[in-house]
């Protein structure tokens, strides 16, 4: 099942910020897990960067509070405000800001100076290895590609042994190929480091791949927050009605069909076939299923080209946009979304509680 969305404050990040500018008010309370990646997600202007800057102490909110794994960095009721340069945090921006006159190695070492030896929990070597930048150490920043520069910036942030890593759209300035190159490194951080990451993004595919926890912002307020498996299928939230609406399914690699180059994942005892043979047997993986790739059938059919036909129960449905109906399904205890035409929903008599079959046309393996 999904991870609990309520987080004990001492173990996680507990924050509350209020800030009023002309035309924009941020009023947000957050409880984030102390591990893994929390994505701040929302439209342009919803306040993602402002919230991240409040976490860094770069914006001074009124009546603010911030505790990171039990350490209080801000508590305006007690006059506590740890300035940014005294907070053990790493901040990665959209564009890497490396010192142009220093080599990659010197850039990395520069960041280390302000970290006392006793505070070093991530060694420079470990950060270099995690981001795969050994071959770049003697280069000057001007001779790095955008993706390489960003990997150096992330390694530099990590090498300061932060207790919190803040990332503001770190892939936004990169083209699709560079993004694809860097994503595996971000996933490694996730698996290998015990540092909470707050990651701003408005790209659904990044959120699907990296996030464990999602905070959906709208107009400076938290519209919803929780484990990604819980938030994404919620029909009352705008995202479920987006063209790219998806759910993630955590599954295990359970078998292969070498002849047809297929891999069998298993979740809740059900098989889910994906094309390709890349994932090692036994691995825990995350798959993404788009709402538009799921159709419904009243009987289990084997006369179509669709490989994945799963028994499902209708949980709820919603007419999000004219002519379209979004159906939330329970499939072996996991949520799936199906987007079908309203005409089909009416003709099939779809209603909550109904048992039927979900035909899953496409499954993407994310990690």
The binding site for ligand ATP (CB under 6 A) comprises 21, 24, 42, 44-50, 202
- For CA atoms 219, 221, 227, 230, give the dihedral sign: negative
Kindly state the smallest distance separating residue 167's Cβ from ligand ATP, in Å: 12
Strand-by-strand arrangement of the 213-218 sheet: 89-92, 164-168, 197-201, 37-41, 213-218, 221-227
Kindly state the smallest distance separating residue 97's Cβ from ligand ATP, in Å: 17
Q: Which is nearer to ligand ATP, 44 or 62 (CB)?
A: 44
Q: Which is nearer to ligand ATP, 96 or 326 (CB)?
A: 96
Angle, CA of 278, 228 and 321, to the nearest 5°: 105
Kindly state the smallest distance separating residue 21's Cβ from ligand ATP, in Å: 4
Q: Which is nearer to ligand ATP, 224 or 247 (CB)?
A: 224
Query: What number of other Cβ atoms are within 10 A of residue 164's Cβ?
Result: 23
Q: Which is nearer to ligand ATP, 221 or 264 (CB)?
A: 221
Closest C-alpha among 190, 188, 189, 171 to residue 180: 171
Strands 71-75 and 80-81: antiparallel
Kindly state the smallest distance separating residue 96's Cβ from ligand ATP, in Å: 17
Kindly state the smallest distance separating residue 91's Cβ from ligand ATP, in Å: 14
Q: Which is nearer to ligand ATP, 54 or 331 (CB)?
A: 54
Q: Which is nearer to ligand ATP, 53 or 190 (CB)?
A: 53
Instruction: Please give the distance of CA 155 from its chain centroid, rounded to a whole number.
Output: 19
Please, which residues bridge with residue 75 across strands?
A: 65, 80
Kindly state the smallest distance separating residue 221's Cβ from ligand ATP, in Å: 12
Q: Which is nearer to ligand ATP, 200 or 314 (CB)?
A: 200
Secondary structure (3-state) at 94: coil
Q: Which residues contact 191 (CB under 8 A, 6 or more apart)?
A: none
Q: Which is nearer to ligand ATP, 45 or 132 (CB)?
A: 45
Q: Which two tokens stand for residue 67?
A: 């505790």
Kindly state the smallest distance separating residue 43's Cβ from ligand ATP, in Å: 7
Q: How far is CA 51 from CA 11, 190, 197, in A?
A: 20, 22, 14
Helices (H), ranges, the chain: 48-56, 104-112, 124-131, 146-159, 176-192, 204-210, 228-231, 342-347
CA distance 327 to 314: 7
Q: Which two tokens stand for residue 354?
A: 């109904």
Kindly state the smallest distance separating residue 54's Cβ from ligand ATP, in Å: 10
């Amino acid at each position: 099942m999904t991870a609990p969305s309520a987080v004990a404050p001492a173990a996680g990040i507990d924050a509350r910020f209020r800030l009023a500018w002309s035309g924009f008010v941020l009023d947000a309370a957050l409880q984030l897990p102390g591990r893994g990646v929390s994505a701040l997600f929302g439209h342009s202007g919803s306040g993602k960067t402002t919230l991240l800057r409040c976490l860094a102490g770069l914006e001074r909110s009124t009546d603010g509070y911030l505790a990171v794994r039990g350490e209080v960095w801000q508590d305006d009721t007690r006059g506590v405000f740890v300035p940014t340069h005294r907070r053990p945090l790493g901040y990665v921006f959209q564009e890497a800001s490396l010192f142009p006159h220093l080599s990659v190695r010197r850039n990395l070492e520069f960041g280390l100076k302000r970290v006392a030896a006793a505070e070093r929990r991530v060694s420079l070597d470990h950060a270099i290895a995690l981001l795969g930048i050994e071959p770049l150490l003697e280069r000057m920043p001007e001779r790095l590609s955008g993706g390489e520069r960003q990997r150096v910036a992330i390694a530099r942030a990590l090498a300061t042994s932060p207790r919190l890593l803040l990332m503001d759209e770190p892939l936004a300035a990169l083209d699709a190929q560079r993004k694809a190159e860097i994503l595996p490194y971000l996933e490694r951080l996730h698996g290998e480091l015990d540092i909470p990451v707050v990651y701003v993004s408005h790209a659904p595919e990044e959120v699907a791949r990296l996030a464990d926890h999602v905070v959906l912002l709208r107009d400076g307020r938290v519209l919803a927050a929780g484990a990604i498996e819980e938030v994404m299928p919620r029909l009352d939230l705008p995202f479920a009605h987006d063209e790219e609406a998806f759910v993630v399914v955590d599954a295990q690699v359970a078998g292969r069909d070498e002849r047809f180059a297929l891999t069998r994942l298993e979740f809740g005892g059900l098989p889910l076939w994906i094309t390709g043979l890349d994932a090692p047997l036994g691995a825990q993986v995350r798959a993404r299923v788009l709402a538009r790739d799921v159709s419904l059938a009243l009987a289990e059919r084997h006369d179509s080209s669709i490989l994945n036909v799963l028994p499902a129960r209708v949980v709820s449905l919603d007419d999000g946009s004219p002519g379209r109906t979004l159906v939330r399904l329970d499939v072996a205890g996991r949520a799936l979304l199906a987007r079908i035409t309203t005409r089909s929903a009416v003709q099939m008599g779809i209603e909550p509680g109904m048992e039927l079959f979900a035909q899953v046309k496409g499954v993407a393996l994310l990690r």
